[in-house]
């Protein structure tokens, strides 16, 4: 009988993961099989069932389809393993979560093994995105609460063992001792002993107060960095499975083309070619070596239909306004905006435009899949392992219980890059050949078909009274979408799923928009910071303007779209913080003072003031006086926001120099401030602020997806620009406002939200020219400077 190679013993762990577990001396399976363990999960019943069913069930944990719900396990040697559904994407979350567990359990940082994002091992926490990991795992639920639950349980066990009340115990380095007599002590391992404890997450367990923190709140160096700088880190790109083959895909040449035929004879003589794979409009090849697969895709003769044709790039934003059908949403509507604007002393109207932009990961997306019969294992850099399990199962036509998704870090993603789509590519190719297949996209395939960040056109009308106070704010926006993150039932939300025959999520028109109901939500900062945000008589905004209307129109996009770092929040905030500056200039007010006059939220006020102070803000109206009409002009700009209305207070001050002869903008100084509650790791937070702000600067100055009549033309780094390491990096300062007695908020997507507005406002301050369209290319700057000249000579 042929011996089946370890398919039943699933190809579950890569060499590195195995090594890591071996080093820790434990695995979850070992825990469950082992002599003693304390597990904290969602429900006692489920954990007990797993424990009771013994080693066999434990062996199958990875493929049995059990909803995994355990957060922490402590072995009888005192070691701690924690399980999280929020993954390391380069943002430092692995380290911060390890700190969190070490803190709550009072064990050294290196005694904690964190297992992240594996559908066979970790809880379903949806997607690692939207600056939601801190709110989810660092407050009073999930991972943090599991830590507190375990500590309190261990203290109770120790109180029994040592015959003293819990209040008299203290815990350090995994050892619980009597405060007044440290010689009476017991370690976690001894407490667990040979027994099995299964605890339910206790919502009443008390988290440690930040004033007691010893590990959390400190600038602990990131766990991955030594391996990263030494070229030893195992990215998803480095996953190697025995017998693995290499695949490549062939995407349609133009948007909307469908496959007519494939002539396999065109590659018949290529060495190493294993198979040409076709499924509906999905085409790929599998070969022994990557170079062979590349040559095969170049040579493969495919006949495609003509495309759908694309709207012209030049007036795309204007077309959005007239596109039907639309899905309309009223975020707020005080029902008096038109009347209030009619009686305002003056009304400023302005339109802002934002292009499609891309995630543009520096490494093109990659995945490895091993599909054997009806079982599949996929190593993926997805932000969403459990959702991907569902949709990959649909792609493969197998049960989700038979699919395991193992997260391996990819190149920084900043939202939905190609990680999900390439996971489908690898899965389809592996299924076709019955062997493990690795796929990495070409640069062109990554860029031409990813889910772009949304284009926007936004009309703003802001009315002021005779005292220069804002009376009413009217915001109307149009933005196109197609697809998004694949969710249950929508693998067609990304290109591979679409080509393989699945439709993107259905677009449901809604006209007119229903009145806002329920609690106020600012819906991706569609509502500006300066409105009161009142729905049903209750106000949840951060500002004072009571006459408010925010209306958005979602329309169909010709390209796939999806969340790109600060999705919609960035576009909306660019328009809000720019027009706020325009109004301040119109009434002759200082931009910081004018903002403060219209804010009501004390934390937003504080972060704005702190940044202005650090930036030595020169209090006066913009633009500055005595601007020469040529040569280099310098100016300063400001912007602030409460990200998503409830998830991170931030402000950003910029200093720029504008070469008025060439239109070149040089950002000289950035001062960013952040209040996201109690800070888990100040250095990690600074790293996020610095990177996010500069990424926002690159997006503001350079980045724009372009296309011709039938296809995207931004397909490499010459046709889609990104600020390289070699540009003149501005001086960068960060201010962290650390607050102990509030909930943890997000920080990953905060300051990027402000960069375009703060830079645009500084350009205006320097030159008197307002640029209302991103990116601020030299041409656009020169155009704005020229129109400034025309205005002043005409009026």
Partner 1 sequence: MSAITLTVNGRSHTLDVDLTTPLLYVLSDDLELRGPKFGCGLAQCGACTVIAGGRAIRSCVTPVGTMDAADIITLEGLGTAEKPHPIQRAFIDEQATQCGFCLSGVILTAKALLDENPKATDEQMRQAMSTVLCRCFAHVRMLRAIKRYAREAGV
Stretch that binds partner 1, among 190-198, 225-233, 511-519, 786-794 (CB under 8 A): 225-233
Note whether 728 binds partner 1 by CB under 8 A.
yes
Minimum separation from the CB atom of position 319 to partner 1 (A):
30
Pairing of strands 665-675, 731-736: parallel
Pairing of strands 112-116, 80-84: parallel
Minimum separation from the CB atom of position 631 to partner 1 (A):
22
CB 122 within 8 A of CB 68: yes
Note whether 409 binds partner 1 by CB under 8 A.
yes
Q: Which two tokens stand for residue 722?
A: 């990104």
Note whether 232 binds partner 1 by CB under 8 A.
yes
Note whether 362 binds partner 1 by CB under 8 A.
yes
Minimum separation from the CB atom of position 690 to partner 1 (A):
5
Note whether 628 binds partner 1 by CB under 8 A.
no
Sign of the CA dihedral running 86, 90, 94, 95: negative
List the one residue from 179, 206, 240, 343 that touches partner 1 (CB under 8 A): 240
Stretch that binds partner 1, among 177-185, 289-297, 420-428, 569-577 (CB under 8 A): 289-297
Q: CA-to-CA distance for 410 and 340, rounded, in angstroms?
A: 51
Nearer to partner 1, 182 or 271 (CB): 271
Note whether 246 binds partner 1 by CB under 8 A.
yes
List the one residue from 23, 512, 725, 795 that touches partner 1 (CB under 8 A): 725
Q: Which two tokens stand for residue 642?
A: 């409460």
Residues 420-459, mask of contacts with partner 1 (x by CB under 8 A): --------------------x-xx----------------
List the one residue from 62, 648, 692, 768 that touches partner 1 (CB under 8 A): 692
Stretch that binds partner 1, among 53-61, 167-175, 461-469, 715-723 (CB under 8 A): 715-723
Stretch that binds partner 1, among 309-317, 357-365, 400-408, 473-481 (CB under 8 A): 357-365
Residue located via tokens 């297992």:
115
DSSP, collapsed to helix, strand or coil, labels residue 659 as strand
Residue 20, CA atoms < 13 Å, CB-side half-sphere: 19
Residues 6+ apart with CB under 8 A from 445: 249, 251, 364, 418
List the one residue from 314, 537, 726, 794 that touches partner 1 (CB under 8 A): 726
> To 10 degrees, what angle do helices 93-105 and 142-162 make?
20
Nearer to partner 1, 487 or 669 (CB): 669
Nearer to partner 1, 552 or 655 (CB): 655
Note whether 695 binds partner 1 by CB under 8 A.
yes
CB 98 within 8 A of CB 144: no
User: If binding means CB under 8 A, how many residues of this protein chain bind partner 1?
Assistant: 62
Note whether 51 binds partner 1 by CB under 8 A.
no
Note whether 301 binds partner 1 by CB under 8 A.
no
Residues 65-94 that bind partner 1 (CB under 8 A): 89-92
Torsion angles phi and psi, residue 676, rounded to 5: -120, 30
List the one residue from 77, 333, 646, 690 that touches partner 1 (CB under 8 A): 690
List the one residue from 732, 738, 743, 783 that touches partner 1 (CB under 8 A): 732
Note whether 694 binds partner 1 by CB under 8 A.
yes
**Spatial CA neighbour of 751 closest among 567, 612, 595, 566:** 566
Calculate the alpha carbon distances from 221 to 95, 490, 522, 590 in Å: 8, 39, 36, 41
Would you list the DSSP string of 616-645? T---SPSSPSS--SSSEEEEEEEEEEEGGG
Note whether 414 binds partner 1 by CB under 8 A.
yes
Q: CA-to-CA distance for 736 and 743, rounded, in angstroms?
A: 15
Note whether 364 binds partner 1 by CB under 8 A.
yes
Minimum separation from the CB atom of position 193 to partner 1 (A):
35
Stretch that binds partner 1, among 229-237, 328-336, 468-476, 627-635 (CB under 8 A): 229-237
List the one residue from 76, 103, 234, 370 that touches partner 1 (CB under 8 A): 234
List the one residue from 311, 540, 621, 691 that touches partner 1 (CB under 8 A): 691
Note whether 311 binds partner 1 by CB under 8 A.
no
Torsion angles phi and psi, residue 161, rounded to 5: -65, -45
List the one residue from 618, 717, 740, 786 that touches partner 1 (CB under 8 A): 717
Residues 6+ apart with CB under 8 A from 718: none
CB 272 within 8 A of CB 292: yes
Stretch that binds partner 1, among 217-225, 393-401, 591-599, 633-641 (CB under 8 A): 217-225
630: exposed, middle or buried (Cβ count in 10 Å: 0-12, 13-18, 19+) = exposed
Minimum separation from the CB atom of position 271 to partner 1 (A):
8
**Spatial CA neighbour of 252 closest among 501, 618, 499, 524:** 499
Nearer to partner 1, 41 or 90 (CB): 90
Calculate the alpha carbon distances from 153 to 215, 609, 783 in Å: 21, 44, 67
Calculate the alpha carbon distances from 712 to 252, 416, 556, 699 in Å: 12, 18, 17, 18
Nearer to partner 1, 206 or 232 (CB): 232
List the one residue from 179, 289, 298, 303 that touches partner 1 (CB under 8 A): 289
List the one residue from 225, 511, 740, 786 that touches partner 1 (CB under 8 A): 225
Note whether 712 binds partner 1 by CB under 8 A.
no
Q: Which two tokens stand for residue 583?
A: 């109004």
Q: CA-to-CA distance for 430 and 687, rounded, in angstroms?
A: 38
Residue located via tokens 């407050």:
139
Would you list the DSSP string of 733-784? EEEE---SSS-----TTSGGGGHHHHHHHHHHHHHS----BSS--HHHHHHH
Nearer to partner 1, 367 or 785 (CB): 367
Burial pattern 485-513, b for ≥16 Cβ within 10 A else e, equals bbeeebbbbbbbbbbbebebbeeeeeeeb
Note whether 243 binds partner 1 by CB under 8 A.
no
Stretch that binds partner 1, among 4-12, 143-151, 223-231, 609-617 (CB under 8 A): 223-231
Minimum separation from the CB atom of position 102 to partner 1 (A):
19
Note whether 128 binds partner 1 by CB under 8 A.
no
Note whether 493 binds partner 1 by CB under 8 A.
no
Calculate the alpha carbon distances from 266 to 270, 275, 301, 432 in Å: 9, 13, 6, 20
Nearer to partner 1, 697 or 756 (CB): 697
List the one residue from 235, 333, 713, 737 that touches partner 1 (CB under 8 A): 235
Alpha-carbon torsion angle 686, 687, 692, 697, nearest 10: 90
Nearer to partner 1, 124 or 690 (CB): 690
Nearer to partner 1, 719 or 787 (CB): 719
Sign of the CA dihedral running 134, 197, 70, 55: positive
Q: CA-to-CA distance for 177 and 170, rounded, in angstroms?
A: 5
Note whether 242 binds partner 1 by CB under 8 A.
no
Torsion angles phi and psi, residue 81, rounded to 5: -120, 130
Pairing of strands 112-116, 181-187: unpaired
Binding site for partner 1 (CB under 8 A): 89-92, 221-222, 224-235, 237-238, 240, 246, 271, 289-292, 360-364, 409-412, 414, 440, 442-443, 683, 687, 690-695, 697-698, 716-718, 722-729, 732
């Amino acid at each position: 009988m042929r011996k089946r190679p370890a398919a039943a013993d699933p190809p579950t762990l890569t060499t590195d993961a195995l090594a890591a577990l071996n080093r820790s001396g434990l695995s979850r399976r070992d825990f469950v099989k082992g002599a003693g363990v304390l597990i904290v999960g969602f429900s006692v019943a489920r954990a007990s069932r797993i424990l009771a069913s013994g080693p066999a069930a434990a062996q199958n944990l990875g493929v049995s389809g059990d909803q995994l719900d355990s957060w922490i396990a402590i072995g009888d040697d005192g070691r701690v393993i924690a399980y999280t559904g929020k993954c390391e994407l380069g943002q430092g979350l692995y380290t911060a979560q390890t700190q969190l567990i070490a803190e709550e359990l009072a064990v050294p940082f290196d005694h904690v093994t964190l297992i992240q994002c594996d559908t066979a091992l970790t809880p379903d926490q949806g997607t690692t995105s939207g600056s939601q990991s801190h709110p989810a795992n660092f407050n009073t639920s999930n991972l943090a609460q599991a830590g507190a639950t375990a500590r309190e349980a261990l203290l109770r066990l120790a109180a029994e063992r040592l015959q003293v009340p819990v209040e008299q115990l203290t815990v350090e380095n995994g050892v619980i001792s009597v405060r007044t007599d440290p010689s009476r002590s017991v370690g976690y391992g001894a407490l667990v002993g040979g027994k099995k404890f299964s605890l339910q997450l206790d919502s009443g367990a008390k988290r440690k107060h930040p004033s007691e923190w010893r590990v959390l709140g400190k600038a602990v160096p990131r766990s991955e960095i030594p391996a990263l700088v030494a070229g030893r880190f195992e990215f998803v790109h480095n996953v190697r499975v025995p017998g693995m083959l290499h695949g490549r895909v062939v995407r349609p040449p133009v948007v909307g083309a469908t496959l007519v035929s494939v002539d396999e004879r065109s590659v018949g003589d290529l060495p190493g070619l294993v198979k040409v794979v076709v499924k509906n409009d999905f085409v790929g090849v599998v070969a022994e070596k990557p170079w062979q697969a590349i040559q095969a895709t170049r040579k493969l003769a495919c006949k495609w239909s003509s495309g759908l044709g694309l709207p012209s790039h030049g007036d795309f934003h204007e077309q959005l306004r007239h596109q039907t059908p639309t899905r309309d949403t009223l975020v707020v509507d005080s029902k008096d905006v038109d009347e209030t604007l009619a009686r305002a002393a003056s009304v400023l109207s302005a339109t802002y435009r934002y292009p499609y932009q891309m995630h543009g990961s520096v490494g093109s997306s990659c995945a490895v899949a091993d599909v054997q019969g009806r079982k599949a294992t996929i190593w993926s850099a997805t932000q969403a392992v459990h959702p991907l399990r569902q949709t990959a199962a649909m792609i493969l036509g197998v049960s989700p219980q038979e699919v395991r998704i193992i997260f391996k870090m990819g190149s920084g993603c900043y939202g939905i890059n190609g990680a999900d789509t390439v996971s489908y590519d690898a899965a389809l190719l592996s299924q076709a050949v019955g062997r493990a297949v690795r796929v990495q996209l070409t640069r062109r395939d990554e860029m031409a078909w990813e889910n772009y960040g949304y284009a926007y056109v936004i009309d703003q009308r802001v009315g002021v009274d005779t005292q220069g106070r804002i009376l009413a704010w009217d915001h109307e926006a149009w933005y196109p979408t197609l697809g998004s993150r694949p969710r249950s039932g929508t693998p067609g939300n990304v290109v591979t799923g679409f080509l393989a025959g699945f439709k993107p999520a259905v677009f449901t028109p809604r006209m007119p928009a229903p009145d806002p109901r329920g609690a106020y939500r600012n819906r991706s900062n569609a509502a500006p910071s300066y409105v009161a945000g009142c729905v049903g008589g209750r106000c949840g905004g951060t500002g004072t303007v009571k006459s408010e209307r925010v209306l958005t129109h979602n329309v169909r996009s010709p390209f796939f779209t999806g969340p790109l770092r600060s999705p919609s929040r960035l576009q909306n905030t660019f328009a809000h913080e720019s027009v706020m500056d325009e109004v301040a200039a119109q009434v002759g007010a200082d931009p910081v003072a004018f903002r403060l006059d219209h804010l009501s939220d004390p934390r937003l006020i504080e972060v704005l003031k702190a940044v202005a102070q650090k930036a030595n803000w020169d209090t006066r109206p913009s633009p500055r006086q005595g601007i020469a009409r040529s040569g280099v002009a310098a100016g300063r700009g400001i912007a602030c926001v409460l990200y998503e209305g409830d998830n991170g207070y931030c402000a950003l001050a910029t200093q720029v120099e504008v070469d008025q002869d060439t239109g070149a903008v040089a950002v000289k100084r950035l001062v960013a401030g952040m209040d996201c509650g109690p800070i888990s790791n100040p250095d990690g937070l600074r790293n996020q602020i610095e990177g996010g702000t500069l990424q926002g600067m690159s997006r503001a100055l350079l980045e724009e997806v372009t296309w011709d009549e039938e296809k995207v033309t931004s397909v490499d780094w010459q046709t889609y620009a990104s600020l390289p390491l070699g540009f003149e990096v501005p001086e960068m300062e960060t201010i962290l406002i650390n607050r102990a007695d509030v909930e943890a908020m997000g920080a990953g997507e905060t300051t990027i939200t402000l960069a375009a507005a703060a830079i645009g406002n500084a350009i205006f301050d320097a030159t008197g020219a307002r640029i209302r369209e991103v990116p601020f290319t030299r041409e656009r700057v020169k155009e704005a400077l020229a129109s400034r000249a025309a205005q002043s000579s005409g009026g």
